[in-house]
Chains A and B, each alone.
Chain A
Amino acid sequence: MKEILLVCVAGGVCALDATAAWQVMLSQPLVSASIAGLLTGVPVTGVAIGILLQLLWSGSIPVGARPMPDSPVASVSGVWFASALLKGGAGVPDSLAHLAGILAALAVALVGRETIMFERELNRRLFERFLRRVRAGELVGPGRVQFLGATLAFSRGFLLCLVATTVLAVLAGPAGRLVSSSAGGGAHALVLIGGLGAGVLFNTFVRKTRSRLLAFGGGVVFAVLLRSFPG
């Protein structure tokens, strides 16, 4: 219970960082998943899930009103689910637990996107009330609106994380049993998800100009040469 509460607080703080406050990038999947990994006692799992989610969501740009997947809450919930599978005693291999965590994160991200839109609608109503008072000549400051907006962002992250972990706790048993007798480790699916993420970055950095394509080629050659050196 204490672990779930800690994870939910982390989800709330990371959700707050995504738009409402600071924007120091605690909300990036690699960071929020690493934090969740440390909190749940599975740091390696946190980093492994964070790497794949970071690749997938690097291309999500918070420009204008475009809704984005709720990556911070999703990353935290996904790591919690993977840790629950690993600790569940069903003998789920690490890579399958990672895959299950990523799937959980992707599903939570899509649900979270809808709740972000709801949060923004509530913000609009709060500010509208404030505007009516200002236009009526009342001497009020926007501090209360801002505080409520930030509280709403934290609460949305916290509650979404709480709902997600509750639902995922129920699913952990069947999901573990489903794959516990499987000989495979889900490695092929992880490679494909990694490829999708690398594709997003390829689209962001490489496809635009010829010079970028050459730089990309340079990076590939550099890495291959580096690997060929002994040690």
Chain B
Amino acid sequence: MSEKRIGKTAVLGLLARSFYLQSAWNYETLQAPGFAYALFPVGRELSAGGDVPQQFAERHVTLFNTNPILASYVIGTVARMEEEVAAGRLTGDDVVAMKSALSVPLAAAGDRFFWATLRPFAGMVGVLVAGAAGSAGALVLLALYNIFHLYYRARGVVRGYALGAGIVSEILRLNLVSLSAQLGLMGAFVLGVLFVAAGLCWSGGTFGPGFAVFAATGVLVGVLPEGFQKRITEIALCVGGAGYVLTALGILG
């Protein structure tokens, strides 16, 4: 049996399409539209008639959800496994099983690293730089975040496609949990610096009452239960609105 391979251009296509994984994100099938969008050109290339086979299509339009950046590992792996299915060495059920087996651990590790650690960390460093150098802070945020983002996204597709089902051992070696812990520790240090720098900035450069109010509010809000943090937009709106009115009435400076 002659073996069909998708080629380097198609692998680059997978990477490009992975940036649109959530374009039609919805509450029912989550990232399924984006996953199908990334994989359908592979199905077209592997089929004899140039059309996506019905079974291939049905495999990739079902519910799918993981971290959108590390989804690239699943996309690359599934593309390689589909080649194996076309060659008769694997079945469609193997592909479906691998998809669901990979999505859960990648979601856990990716959400913790990218959303809960790297993004707030990059934001914090960006804020520190913005306080000193204005718009450059936004560029620092973008650079700091995207070094990791683009590296893991590209690596996921390339390694996933290279290793196929063997990607599991690579994912175990990703070590994002430990990286999250280290970045979290650095984040705590940077936050200490930010507390002092921002507090001084908003209180006229002295450790006076303004600094004390800022620091006390920060620590108090920080130790309150997480339900409070989830309502921070509403709370800030009330606090700011009251401040605006009191300022207008001349009660607050």
Binding site for B on A (CB under 8 A): 19-26, 28, 30-31, 34-35, 37-38, 43-44, 46-47, 50-51, 54-59, 61-65, 69, 96, 99-100, 102-103, 106-107, 109-110, 120-121, 123-124, 126-128, 130-131, 134-135, 137, 139, 141-143, 145-150, 153, 178-179, 182-208, 211-213, 215-224, 227
Contact = CB atoms under 8 A, between A and B. Distances in A.
A109 B237 CA distance: 10
B132 to A, nearest CB: 11
Contacts of A179: 244, 247-248
Nearest to A33: B138
A30 B127 contact: yes
A146 B194 contact: no
B168 to A, nearest CB: 23
**Top-6 shortest CB links A-B:** A219-B192, A189-B243, A199-B221, A195-B217, A202-B222, A149-B24
B186 A215 contact: yes
Contact of A219 (B19, B190, B202): B190
A186 B244 contact: yes
A21 to B, nearest CB: 5
B23 A201 contact: no
A222 B34 CA distance: 46
Contacts of A216: 188-189, 191-192, 195
Given A137-B54, A223-B197, A50 B130 contact: yes
B159 interface: no
B155 interface: no
- Classify chain B: how many residues form its interface, as a range: 35 or more
A224 B197 CA distance: 9
A54 B127 contact: yes
Contacts of A149: 23-25, 33
A19 B58 CA distance: 25
B73 interface: no
Contact of B191 (A22, A194, A201): A201
Contacts of A64: 65
13 contacts: A22-B19, A30-B126, A38-B135, A57-B233, A123-B33, A142-B33, A145-B24, A146-B20, A146-B37, A188-B252, A189-B240, A202-B223, A204-B187
B188 A213 contact: yes
B127 A150 contact: no
Nearest to A71: B233
Interface string B34-76: 1011001000000000011010011001000100110000000
